[in-house]
Amino acid sequence: MKKTIGTLVLASTATLLAACGGDSETVTIGVSGSDTRIWDFVAEKAAEEDIEIEIVSFSDYVQPNIALAEEDIDLNAFQTISYFDEFIEDRELDLSPIASTVIAPMALYSEKVDSVEELPDGATIAVPNEATNLGRALLLLEESGLIELSDDAGLTGTPEDITENTKNITLEPIVAGQTPRVLPDVDASIINNGIAVDAGFSPVDDSIFRESDTATPYINIIASRTEDQDNEVYQRIGELYQQEDVAQFIEDEYNGGMIPTFVSLEELTNY
């Protein structure tokens, strides 16, 4: 009996391989966090064109670029164009963007107050400590009216660029992945979108302030090794992502917590 079952299993496997025709191409895509709903949707579309997408999840914002540069994965899709540019310059990595995807709004969360106005004088706010995320967090605080920044703060401003702080807020820079965990210990915490979702928060329903959705530097991208940026299969994946049904899926699934933002590479890289 065991021999018969083994023969049937092998036969089924052979039939499956024959049905696939051996023509499909597998592409591994690195993401940060566990939310793969959009890519699961895109993968179903890609499978119809004999492109098999395998998602590799990472727990931080460093390893997906390292893994891509070291050829452990084919593409990644987890970061803003501004973070990407800063990272590859610092690490001297030969990577390039091939398509835009979404804006994932960064937001301010609190377990102690229900609005920015309720934050007390001397409040402590946790912020991500990575350079581009910190700069983004400061711009968010400026947009909320809590601080003002110098004109030359740019995208990678630091606390030294704060020119006005009427509530005497104290900033506590910590690793981005820890920003949800410190909520009980601070008055508020600025949390990246993907990290917030993984922690069970909705940027729309649970935050006390959310950044605007039109900031080009914070558009997320699909990246490849520069030598592969014209790869037809990779380009096709970018095209599939940017189709109208994917945009509708994102809008329906995330209700404003993730915003489809499909722009040209020229606009993306000239922010």
pLDDT, tens digit, for every residue of 130-185?
Answer: 888 999 999 999 999 999 999 999 888 999 999 999 999 999 999 999 999 999 99
| Arithmetic mean of pLDDT, 190-197 | 89
* Higher pLDDT pick, 18 / 75: 75
Helix (H) or strand (E) holding 263: none
Together in a domain, 172 and 201: yes
CATH of residue 77's domain is: 3.40.190.10
pLDDT grade for 13, boundaries at 50, 70 and 90: very low
**Amino acid letter at 193?**
N
Lookup: tokens for 150: 């110098």
Helix (H) or strand (E) holding 83: helix 81-91
Q: Tell me the helices (H) and strands (E) count for the chain, helix number first.
A: 9, 13
Helix (H) or strand (E) holding 12: helix 2-20
pLDDT grade for 22, boundaries at 50, 70 and 90: low
Domain of residue 82: give its range: 2-104+216-269
**What pTM did the predictor assign?**
0.71
Together in a domain, 165 and 246: no
183, 109 contact by CB (below 8 A): yes
State the total domains in the chain. 2
Mean pLDDT of the chain: 89
Helical packing angle, 232-241 and 37-47, nearest 10°: 120
Helix (H) or strand (E) holding 243: none
Lookup: tokens for 132: 């581009």
Together in a domain, 8 and 79: yes
Tokens 């004999």 label which residue?
Answer: 50
